[in-house]
Amino acid sequence: MKTILLLAWKSAWSRRFALGLTCLSIMLSVAMLVAVERMRHGAHASFAASVSGTDLVVGPRSHPVQLLLYAVFHLGAVENGMSWDSAERIAADPAVAWTIPVTLGDSHRGFPVVSTSAAYFDHYRYGRHQRLAFAAGTQFHALFDVVLGAEVARRLGYSVGDRLTLSHGLEEIGHAGHADRPFTVTGILAPTGTPADRTLHIGLEAMQALHLDWHGGAQIPGVAIKASDLAKFDLRPTQVTAVLVGLKQRAAVLRVQRLLPARLAEPVSAVMPGAALDQLWRLTSGVEGVLRAVAALVLVVALAGLAAAVLAGLNERRREMAVLRAVGANPSHIFLLMLCEGLGVTLAGSAAGWAAVQLAAWSIAPALLAHFGLARDIAAPGPTEWLLLAAVMAAGLFVSIVPGWRACRLSLANGLAPRT
């Protein structure tokens, strides 16, 4: 066996250019396959990380995926809000440890604005139960204070103390604006890899104050409340988009999910983030499947190329086979020789492909960490990756059997004088 390995290696090395190309094609296809798997796993993990500390999301009755995407990821829209009364009742429930009310609707240069309470900074958890940290400044205290997500500050170049104004609605260039109510940046969050990075955070009262003189999506003409007069108004919110709920005991989540809506005066949806994400992944699994299928197809082409390369080489190697037979090699030696070559090329290609993905992941990890906080999810091999590589090796073995068997047949039929 040592002899066969040595011969296989030396023989392959002498044909390294042709085999190298085959190896390269396997490397690229394996890299593609692994990258798709990595991204898929990374996307799932980063979505899950955004809601890792949240047990329930409660909002107006809607599809669980829709509610979760809007309330946590600020994607899509939910028609109605939920009354503040409901939000307070949820917070008062004995099973509930904390609640984070969130209201969406305004934006600043394309980034969504979330109005929330101080509980957001105390209770929101992401990743492995990490707390939000401030890169600079503190949370909001005054009415028109704003806390920026890391990416908002980086992209727009804001620092603590800067002033900015919000637009009504989520349009990039909102003509309906809140230019009359400038905000002051009091804090900038450290990168988290969650939607918080792309979000501006203001207080619930600020949101209420912004819209005091508004009605139906437009400023009421002729009514302009001076900033100094705002204190005279009741700035308690009337509505919220949703409430993120943390329970005292996580195990009680199913019971709370079932009982909580019944105690409220309006129809609501209570969504377990994990379950809603599972639903979401089921929706996107078709696209993922197509990506995987394309990557797998590329691999099949590469392996077929391997078989073709080894088979094509057989004709020129009949001499080699005859010499080996003459010095005492038996047909199974010849078979093993071919098998080793095919397997070796597959192994080298797979290892190189995996290494390429890993290197790429490591080299972009710092950038991802800074911009998206995704590094941890991309740099670590996903659980299905080893299975994938094992499957590639099995396919390589299968493909190598063909030329091995053919070489075996040829060496048996030709004796020592191959017809050239």
Partner 1 sequence: MNAAASTLWDTAVAIDGLRFGWRGSDDACLDLPHFSVAQGERVFLHGPSGSGKSTLLAILAGVLVPQAGTVRIGATDVAALPAGRRDQFRADHIGFLFQQFNLLPYLSVLENVLLPCRFSLRRRMRAEAASGASARDEAQRLLARLGIGPELSVRPTAQLSVGQQQRVAAARALIGRPDMLIADEPTSALDAASQRDFLDLLLAESTFPGALVMVSHDLRLAAPFDRSVAMADLNVARRHIGAP
Point out which residues bind partner 1 (CB under 8 A): 3, 7, 10-11, 13-14, 319-320, 322-333, 413, 415-417
Of residues 149 and 404, the one with the C-beta less far from partner 1: 404
Question: Long-range pairs for 154-159 at CB < 8 Å and ≥24 separation?
Answer: 154/371, 156/109, 156/111, 158/185, 158/188, 159/185, 159/188
**128/192 Cα distance (integer angstroms):** 11
**Minimum CB distance to partner 1, residue 1 (Å):** 11
3-state class of 77 per DSSP? coil
**Minimum CB distance to partner 1, residue 14 (Å):** 4
Of residues 90 and 309, the one with the C-beta less far from partner 1: 309
Task: State how far the alpha carbon of 66 is from the alpha carbons of 13, 245, 259, 283, 318, in Å.
Answer: 57, 17, 21, 12, 65
**113/37 Cα distance (integer angstroms):** 33
Of residues 217 and 415, the one with the C-beta less far from partner 1: 415
Of residues 96 and 334, the one with the C-beta less far from partner 1: 334
- Give the residue among 70, 71, 130, 73 at the shortest CA–CA distance from 99: 71
**Minimum CB distance to partner 1, residue 4 (Å):** 9
**Minimum CB distance to partner 1, residue 338 (Å):** 15
**Minimum CB distance to partner 1, residue 420 (Å):** 9
**Minimum CB distance to partner 1, residue 287 (Å):** 48
**Minimum CB distance to partner 1, residue 331 (Å):** 7
Q: What token pair was written down for 68?
A: 């979760």
**Minimum CB distance to partner 1, residue 282 (Å):** 54
Angle at 349 between CA 344 and CA 352, to 5 degrees: 125
Of residues 6 and 301, the one with the C-beta less far from partner 1: 6
Of residues 25 and 411, the one with the C-beta less far from partner 1: 411
Q: What token pair was written down for 218?
A: 């437009």
Task: Report DSSP letters for 149-180, one per residue.
Answer: -HHHHHHHT--TT-EE--EESS-TT-SSB-TT
Of residues 282 and 319, the one with the C-beta less far from partner 1: 319
Of residues 66 and 411, the one with the C-beta less far from partner 1: 411
3-state class of 333 per DSSP? helix
**28/205 Cα distance (integer angstroms):** 55
**What sign does the dihedral 216-219-224-225 (CA atoms) show?**
positive
- Give the residue among 339, 347, 348 at the shortest CA–CA distance from 400: 339
